[in-house]
Structure 1
C-alpha cells in the first residue's frame, strides 16, 4: 500500500484491507513523503516493521520497488517453486471484502494472465462506475468508455480481457513485475498503469479485469498527481515510447500541432486555462528526449510480439468520438448556473388571501436602469460643447501636445509597425505603440483619423462618465452611486487638463481606466452580482442545487473578462506609458495573492507585452524612451503628491484662484483649494470609511487603496526621469494618467464605503418614521455634497474656456499663486501642415523633404526637417525624443548634435543670415527640396526678405502655411529643368549628383541606368547596419557618404532594391498578431455553455468538468 498525504482516506482503506475474506500473506506500507499523518496511520495498522518511508519523486512504481527491495526481496519463488503476486493498493481506494479472493481466483483459472484489475466504483457514491478496465485510443489517450454518472447494474460483469486495468487494486505476478521493471519512472502521476499493461501485452501476457472484485476509489482527488497536465504529458510520452522509430518525429510533430490546435480551440470556447495546460504539458513531454530514449530501450528488451497486434486492441477513432459526444451531451444537459441568477424566488410562493400579491411589485426601482448613465452623458455633453467651442466639425485639431494625424490609415500603420523612425534624417527604432491606438481611432472614424480625433475631444467627457458608470456597476448596485461616479469621472481635473493641453494619450487612458478596472474585477470574480434575492430557508433546496454564480461575480473568474482587461491595458499603457510598470505590478499582485481566482489575470499581461517587448528592444540604449508621453513634449509643473491625491495633476497655489475666471481670482478666497477639496473631499472621506467599516467587500476597498498608492508612487518615480526635449527644455512624463488611475481607485473605495454607509442607514431606518426621515435627509444631503463638487468643476472648466479671448501659450505663473486649471491650447486646424507643392513632391516618387522654420518671440528659430505631407502625431517617436538626453535621472544633460542635426542647424543659420552662402550641399544631403518659413510676425517678414538672397533658393510665394522656396540642385544644367532634390541620389566618385532615383517612403524599388566606375547610391538617411541593397539580386556593399547611408554601385544597369531590415521584425509581427488575435477571440462574449468547452477536452477532463458542474 502506497500512501501520499492520504490521512483523510487511509482509515477506511486500511479497514477494508483488514476485512478481506482472503487476507494478504504479507502487507508492506510505503509512505511517499507525506506531510500529514499517513505514515503514522500505516505504522499503527501494519506495524512499524512493515512500513517504509520513500522520499523519491518517481511515482508509485518507485515506491513499490522501494518497499519490495527493503521488506520482501525476491527469493521465495526459487525456494517454493510457486509464483508470488503483488497486490497494489492506493491510499484513496478501499477494496471490497471479496476483492483479493476474486482476483486470485481469476489468475488461478488462467495461468496466462499476469495482470488482473478491479472494477472501480466511486468512493462517495458506491454504485457509480469509474472504470471497468481501461483502453487507449490510437493517439494513446487513456479511456474508460464509461458514460457520465453511469451506475453499476451489472452491465459490465461479463468483461474479462481488456487492454489495461487501473493501478488501484492491480494484481501483478512478481516475476513479470521485475521483468518489465515495474512502472515507468517517467510517468509518476498518470498513465503508469496503461503503460505497464501495454508492455505486459507486448511481452505476450494477458490482462484481465475482474468485475466481481470491487474497488471504491476517489474519482477526482484534490491536488492529485493524476491531473489533466499529467494525463497529457503521459499521452505524448506513450505515443513516442511505443511508436516505431521512424514514426517518432511524426508523432512529436503531430502532438505539438494538436496541442496548438486545441489551445486555439480552447480560446474559442472560452476555456483557455485547459488549453494552456495541455500546451505546456506537451512541451514538457517533448522536452525530455533522454526519458523517451530510456523508456524505448526498456520496452524493446521485453517486447515479444509486434506492435500491430496491440493496435487491434486499441479503441477505434469512431468509437472514441462517439463516447466523447456522449460525455459532452451529458455535460450540456446540466442546468446552466447562469439561469439561477434569473430565477425568481417568489415564483413558488403561494398567492391568495394570506399573501399580498402586490408586495413583490413594490419597489423604488421601477425606472430604466440606464437613467443615471443618460443623465450623466447629457450633463457631460453640454459641458464639453461649451468648453470646446470651435472644434465641432473641425477637419483636424492642433495645439499644445497635439498635432494632426496622417491622412491615410496605411501611413499610420506604417509608422506604428516600422523599425525605422522616419523623422528628420531617420534613425533606427520601433514605432511607438500609441500608433496602433491612433490606427484604431482612424478605423472608428471611417478612415479619417483627424476627424475622429476631433470627435474624441468632444466626446471624451461624456465617454468618461459612461465608462465610469459601467465600472461602478461592478462595485455597487445603487443607481445614485453610479450616477455620482459618472459625474465625478467626467469632471476629473486630469481629464480637463488633458483636453486643454491636447494630451491625447492621457485623454484616452482616462477614458479606458474604468473599463480596465471593471474587466479586472470580473476577471477575478470580484464584481458585485446584480439583483438581491432572499436566501432560502434551511433545508429548502429549490434554489440551492447549484450556486447562483456566473463568470465574473461571486468569486468565479472569467477568462473573457481577463482578455478584455488585456486589451484595455494595452490601450491604456500605449496611451500612457508611465502606467506600464504600475499596471503590471497591480496585475502581478492580483495573480499571486488571489491564487486560483487570480489565474485568469495573467492573460491581461500578454497584449501589453506583445506591444512593448519589440518597442523595448529598440530602447535598450535609451530606456527612458519607454516612459515618454505620446505627442509633442510639453512642459508643466507637476502637483505635489497631496494635491495629486485630490486628483490634481498640475500644481496650484493654496491661495490661488481659478484660471481664466476674473471673479474667482486670488485675493478674496482660496478658490483653487476650495474647488479642489469640494470635488475630491467627499470621495476621499468615503474611501477612508470603506477601509474601516467592516463588511464583505472591505478587503476590496483596502486593495483599491493599495492600487492608488502604487499608481501615485509610479507616477512620482516616472516624474524623476526626463523622457523628452522641447526647445532645449527637458520634459518628464505627464502625471495625469497616474493621477487618473489613483483617482479611480479611490473612487472605487469611496463607492464601497458609501455602499456600507447606505446599507447601515437602510437597516437603521426600520426603527421608526422619524428616524427614517432623519436618515433619508442625511442621505440626500450626502448625495448633494457628493455631486456638487463635480458639477462645480465642470461649470468652472466650461466658463474658463468660454471666456478666453484667444489661444494662449503655455505659460506657468509663479508657484505661490498658481491658479487652478490651465488655459486651453487646442484649436481647430487644417489637415495640411505643409504647402500643397511640397506635399506633392514629398509624397511622390521624389520623396522630397521640407525644412520648416518658425520664429520665436525671443528672436530665435525653430526648425524641423519634415517628410512627406509633414510631421504628424503618428510619426512622432519617443525614441527620437529621448535620444539626445544623457545622464542619470535628476542630472540629465542634452547631448551634442550628431552630424545630421549639425547639418540642419548649419543650414538654418545660413538661411536666416542671408549673407550669400550657398547651403545646397547640406540641403542636398538632407534630401530637402523646399524651405517654408512660417508667417508669424513682422520679424518673419524680415527673415523672408533675407532668405530671398540665399543662392539656390527660388521663391515660390506666400502660402497658407508661410513663405515657400524651392531649392534648385547644385548641378542644375545637367538635369531636367523640373528636377528637384530626391531622397535617393546617385553620386560619382567626387560626390557630385549624377542621377536621381525614385523611392517609396522608406524603401527603394527602381531601375537605374549604366554609369561610371566608383559611383554610389546615397540615401538621405542616417547610416545604420540595418540598411541593405541589391542590384538584380546581388547584394551591394554598404558604405557611407558623410553621415548618410550609401552603397557602392557597379557600372552596369539593373534593378535596385533598398530596404531597412531588422532580424526580429518578422517574428515580432507574428507574435503580436497571434497574441492580439487570440486575445480578441477570447474577449468576444459568448453564452457560457459547458457543452461547448468539451470540444477542447479529453475524456478525463470532461469527466472532471462534469463533476464540477
Structure 2
C-alpha cells in the first residue's frame, strides 16, 4: 500500500527504493521516504517522527537544509503518513489509519502499533517525495490554518494519550483533561500564542466526549500487541534531547538590528534623577502630610480590603441604598493604595512628590519610539513633564489628570508596536483600560485612532490585525457593567464624566479666549499660573508654546512624514476632544454642574505635538546644520519652562498665596468620632445635612469618610431622582422639621447611626443661617438622637436606638457581582499573561527596530 495524495510528487526511483527496503527485511512493514518541500527540494520537511515523554509529536529532521546529514538514519518510531509504503498484510492486521486522529499523527500512530506488533519502521532517505502541504494529507501549512492545525494536533495527542495509557490510568487521564486545558491556556497566553486557546478547549471536549473512539483504538492495539511498551522507550526523545532542541531553536544567527537602549549612557537616568531633585525641592514638604487634600483629592480607605471593596460591583459607599458598578478608576486608586498597605492615603502623597520624575521617565521611553538621539529623547522627556495640563493637574489636585499624564507615554510606547508582537499588545490593552479609567472622555478619540490603526495594519502588515483588535477587548469587558447601567438608566452621556470627586476648578470657558488657551495647551483660565502671579494680561503666555507647535507642523515636511502625520493625527484628535469637552457638563456636585476636564484631551494632544516636534528636529535637520538641533531643543524647553514656571513653583508659595489648592488633609471628611467608629467597616452610615441657598443638600456616607475610591459617576451624573433619592430627601426633610415623628427610627432601620449638620460656609447670609439654626434645634429635640457636640466638621448627633445592618445583596445581585468580578479579573489576567515577555518575544523584539514608522534607509 503506497499512501499518496494529490500534492505528493515522488522522484522517479522513489518506489523502487522503498520497495527495496521492504524486501531486505521481512520484519520491516513500514518504509517512509524523505519528504522535501515542493518549491525547495533541498529543504527537509519530514524524515521520521518520534514522541516526547508526554506523548507530544517531535519531528526528527523537519525544517533542515538537506546536506545528506541524515542519510544514514533508518530506525524510527514513526513517520509522516505521506508517501509511506506499507506491507498489505500488515496494513490489514494493524487496522489501517485511525480516523479519530483527525488527520494528525496518523503515521506516528501507525508506527507505534507496528512496533507493538513486533515489526520495524524505517525511513529511506534515498527515496524522496516532494509535498506541497495543502491539507488533504497531513495538515495544511500557512498562518491562516494555524488554528486548524492546533486543533488537529491537540486532538490527536489527547486521543493517543487515552489509547496508549494503561487501563487503570485512563479515568485519571480523562479527569485531568480540563485542569490541563486550563493550565495550557495560561501557557499559550504567556508564550504569545492565543490562537491555540480555543483549539485547546475544543480538542479537549471532543476527546472527552468520544470515548467510543478511544475504546476502538485500544482494542486495535490490544489485538496486535506482542511486545511491551518498554520496547518503544529507546526511540522516544528524551528530556535532554528536547532541551538541546529548544536551545537550538532559540539561537539567533542574525546580528540584532536594534541598537542599545542607552538609558544610563544616553542621559535618561540622569534626567530622571534631576527631575527627582527638582521635585524634592518643590514638593518635599508634602511628605510630612498624612493625607493630601484640596481640589478633587479626598482620603482613601483605612485598609486595602476596603479599597478593593469600593472597586467591586455592589453596594456603593455613598448614597442611601445605591447598588451598582464601580468606576474602573476606583480599581486604579485601589491598586495605588495597595502600594502603601499600612496607610493607603500616603500613596498619593508620595505620588505627588514622584510625579515629575515619573513623567520624565515615561516621556523618555515614549521618545525611544520616535528617535535614537539621546539629546532629543531628553528634550521629549522634559517637554512631557513641563506640559501645562500636567502641572495644572498637580496644582489643582486632580488625581485622575495626574495619573492620565503619567500613563499616556507608556500607552504610546506599547501601542505603537502592538501590531508586531503579543507582548506589547497585551501591555497596551491593560494601559488603555487605565487611561480610559482616568479619562472616559478620551473614548471617542481612542476609537478613532484605533480604527485608523486597524486599517493601516490591515493594509500594510495584515499579520498584526488580531493584536490591534485585542487592544480594545479588555476595555470593553471592564467598562461593560458601567455602560450597561448608564444606558439602561437613559444617561449614556454620563459615560464621559470625569471619575473621582466632581470638581470644577479654574477651567477655561467656551468663549474665543478660552478656546485660544486650549489651542495653546492650557486647560485653565490662568495659563501657567501667570494671571495669579502678575494680575495683568496673559495673552502672551500662549506664544511661548509656539516653537513646539511650529516644529510639530513642519515635521510633515521631513523625510519621516508618515510617522509625523500619524502623530499630528493624534494631536488633532486630542485637541478636538478638548474643544468638544470645554463647557459641557455631564456630572454634578449636588445641584452645581461640573464641566468636563479639557486637560485630558490636551494631554493626548501633547503626545502628538511633542513626538512630531522631535521628528522635525531629528529628521528635518541635515547633517551640515546639525548645530541647529540643540539650539532648537533649548529654545523649546526654555520657552516651555517660562510658560509654566509659576505653576511649577506654586507649591512653594502654598495655598495661602492662591497659587495651589493642595492642603494637609483632611484625614476624614467626617468628624473624628465617626471616623473612629467607621474605620474598620463600611456598615455604619452618616447622614450629612448642609442647608444652602439652593436648598438642603443631603448625602449618606458609609464608613469613616467619603473616599476617592468610593466616588461614582453613575451617582454624580444622574439627572432624575431614584427611589432611594426620594426616600433620602424625605428623611432629610423630616429631620429638620420639628413636627415630623419617628424619623430617627427610620434612620436606624437603614443602618444610619450618625447625623452631621455641616459647618456654615464662609459668607453665609442670614436666611441660610436661620435655616441651619432651625435644623439644629429640630435635631436637638429628637429623643432618639444624642448630641455629640460641635466638631471641626459641624454639629454631630448619634442615633441611640438599635441599628439594623445595612441591607446585603440579594442572590441575583451576588451572582451579578461574581460575574462582573470574574469577567474583569479574567480579561485583565489574560492581558497580563500576554504582556509577560518570553525568550521568543525578546528575540523578535531584537530583530525589529525600536523606532516606529518608515525611516530613511529602511522600513520600520
Q: Cα 1:872–1:661, aligned 2, differ >3 Å: closer, same or farther?
A: same
Alignment partners' CA distance in 2, 1:637 and 1:918 = 48
Alignment partners' CA distance in 2, 1:439 and 1:114 = 67
Alignment partners' CA distance in 2, 1:983 and 1:849 = 11
Shift of 1:787: 1.8
Alignment partners' CA distance in 1, 2:260 and 2:373 = 19
1:691 is aligned, of 542, 556, 560, to 556
Query: Is the contact between residue 318 and residue 706 of structure 2 (CA under 8 Å) also seen in structure 1?
Result: yes
| 2:612 alignment counterpart | 749
Alignment partners' CA distance in 2, 1:119 and 1:1086 = 34
The alignment partner of 2:292 has SS state of strand
| 2:712 alignment counterpart | 877
User: Is 1:791 aligned to residue 641 of structure 2?
Assistant: yes
2:297 is aligned, of 393, 402, 405, to 402
Shift of 1:616: 4.6
Alignment partners' CA distance in 1, 2:747 and 2:150 = 69
User: Is 1:982 aligned to residue 803 of structure 2?
Assistant: yes
Alignment partners' CA distance in 1, 2:588 and 2:260 = 57
2:367 is aligned, of 472, 476, 485, to 472
Alignment partners' CA distance in 2, 1:296 and 1:837 = 70
Spell out the pairing of 1:137-148 with structure 2 (5 A cutoff): 140-146=55-61
Shift of 1:282: 1.7
User: Is 1:678 aligned to residue 532 of structure 2?
Assistant: no
| 1:516 alignment counterpart | 411
Query: Is the contact between residue 577 and residue 598 of structure 2 (CA under 8 Å) also seen in structure 1?
Result: no
The alignment partner of 1:1062 has SS state of helix
Q: Cα 1:845–1:176, aligned 2, differ >3 Å: closer, same or farther?
A: closer
User: Is 1:648 aligned to residue 483 of structure 2?
Assistant: no
Q: Cα 1:706–1:595, aligned 2, differ >3 Å: closer, same or farther?
A: farther
Q: Cα 1:186–1:739, aligned 2, differ >3 Å: closer, same or farther?
A: farther
Query: Is the contact between residue 432 and residue 877 of structure 1 (CA under 8 Å) also seen in structure 2?
Result: yes
Q: Cα 1:714–1:163, aligned 2, differ >3 Å: closer, same or farther?
A: farther
User: Is 1:660 aligned to residue 527 of structure 2?
Assistant: no
Shift of 1:471: 1.7
Spell out the pairing of 1:703-718 with structure 2 (5 A cutoff): 703-712=566-575
**Structure 2 segments unaligned to the other structure (5+ residues):** 134-138, 846-860
The alignment partner of 1:405 has SS state of coil
* CA shift digits 1:1052-1089 (9 cap, x unpaired): xxxxxxxx952143454455555545655665667779
Alignment partners' CA distance in 1, 2:96 and 2:578 = 61
* CA shift digits 1:718-745 (9 cap, x unpaired): 7898642223244454332222112212
Shift of 1:932: 2.1
1:852 is aligned, of 688, 696, 699, to 688
Q: Cα 1:741–1:266, aligned 2, differ >3 Å: closer, same or farther?
A: same
2:149 is aligned, of 230, 244, 248, to 230
| 1:166 alignment counterpart | 80
Alignment partners' CA distance in 2, 1:178 and 1:712 = 75
Shift of 1:831: 0.1
Query: Is the contact between residue 181 and residue 204 of structure 2 (CA under 8 Å) also seen in structure 1?
Result: no
User: Is 1:212 aligned to residue 143 of structure 2?
Assistant: no
Q: Cα 1:805–1:729, aligned 2, differ >3 Å: closer, same or farther?
A: closer
User: Is 1:578 aligned to residue 445 of structure 2?
Assistant: no
| 2:393 alignment counterpart | 498
Alignment partners' CA distance in 2, 1:784 and 1:711 = 26
The alignment partner of 1:932 has SS state of strand
Alignment partners' CA distance in 1, 2:406 and 2:432 = 12
Shift of 1:118: 0.7
Shift of 1:176: 9.6
* CA shift digits 1:910-957 (9 cap, x unpaired): 444556866424433443333222223565765554323542144332
| 2:32 alignment counterpart | 117
Shift of 1:488: 2.4
Alignment partners' CA distance in 2, 1:799 and 1:184 = 78
Query: Is the contact between residue 660 and residue 801 of structure 1 (CA under 8 Å) also seen in structure 2?
Result: no
* CA shift digits 1:244-283 (9 cap, x unpaired): 5998876565455444434434666xx222xx24333222
* CA shift digits 1:565-620 (9 cap, x unpaired): 34433332222233345446645654653433565556655654564345555555
Structure with greater Cα Rg: 1
Alignment partners' CA distance in 2, 1:859 and 1:374 = 50
| 1:88 alignment counterpart | 4
Shift of 1:805: 7.5
Alignment partners' CA distance in 2, 1:716 and 1:310 = 78
Shift of 1:474: 2.7
Query: Is the contact between residue 383 and residue 637 of structure 2 (CA under 8 Å) also seen in structure 1?
Result: yes
Q: Cα 1:240–1:514, aligned 2, differ >3 Å: closer, same or farther?
A: same
Query: Is the contact between residue 119 and residue 211 of structure 1 (CA under 8 Å) also seen in structure 2?
Result: yes
Alignment partners' CA distance in 1, 2:275 and 2:608 = 20
User: Is 1:829 aligned to residue 661 of structure 2?
Assistant: no
* CA shift digits 1:848-906 (9 cap, x unpaired): 422222344x3743222222212111111222223x33xxxxxxxxx1452x3234323
User: Is 1:965 aligned to residue 834 of structure 2?
Assistant: no
| 1:328 alignment counterpart | 246
| 1:102 alignment counterpart | 17
The alignment partner of 2:83 has SS state of coil
| 2:810 alignment counterpart | 1027
Alignment partners' CA distance in 2, 1:1067 and 1:405 = 26
Query: Is the contact between residue 158 and residue 204 of structure 2 (CA under 8 Å) also seen in structure 1?
Result: no
| 1:261 alignment counterpart | 183
Query: Is the contact between residue 325 and residue 481 of structure 2 (CA under 8 Å) also seen in structure 1?
Result: yes
Spell out the pairing of 1:885-964 with structure 2 (5 A cutoff): 885=719, 895-898=720-723, 900-912=724-736, 919-936=743-760, 937=762, 942-943=770-771, 945-946=773-774, 947-950=776-779, 951-952=781-782, 953-964=785-796
| 1:629 alignment counterpart | 498
2:49 is aligned, of 134, 139, 142, to 134
Alignment partners' CA distance in 1, 2:568 and 2:272 = 26
Shift of 1:503: 2.1
**Structure 1 segments unaligned to the other structure (5+ residues):** 1-84, 345-364, 525-556, 666-670, 766-771, 809-822, 886-894, 970-980, 985-1018, 1029-1059, 1094-1109
Query: Is the contact between residue 617 and residue 629 of structure 2 (CA under 8 Å) also seen in structure 1?
Result: no
The alignment partner of 1:664 has SS state of coil
Shift of 1:637: 5.3
| 1:280 alignment counterpart | 198
1:433 is aligned, of 302, 319, 328, to 328
Q: Cα 1:716–1:184, aligned 2, differ >3 Å: closer, same or farther?
A: farther
Structure 1 or 2: more helix by fraction: 2
Alignment partners' CA distance in 2, 1:982 and 1:290 = 55
| 1:1065 alignment counterpart | 817
Q: Cα 1:208–1:643, aligned 2, differ >3 Å: closer, same or farther?
A: same
Alignment partners' CA distance in 1, 2:98 and 2:520 = 64
Query: Is the contact between residue 415 and residue 435 of structure 1 (CA under 8 Å) also seen in structure 2?
Result: yes
The alignment partner of 2:706 has SS state of coil
Shift of 1:756: 0.9
User: Is 1:485 aligned to residue 380 of structure 2?
Assistant: yes
The alignment partner of 1:964 has SS state of strand
Q: CA RMSD in A?
A: 4.8
* CA shift digits 1:762-791 (9 cap, x unpaired): 1xx1xxxxxx5xx63x54553343123311
Query: Is the contact between residue 71 and residue 126 of structure 2 (CA under 8 Å) also seen in structure 1?
Result: no
Give the total of aligned pairs: 817
Query: Is the contact between residue 954 and residue 967 of structure 1 (CA under 8 Å) also seen in structure 2?
Result: yes
* CA shift digits 1:299-336 (9 cap, x unpaired): 79988935786966755797443431231243356568
The alignment partner of 2:302 has SS state of coil
Alignment partners' CA distance in 2, 1:930 and 1:291 = 61
| 1:991 alignment counterpart | none
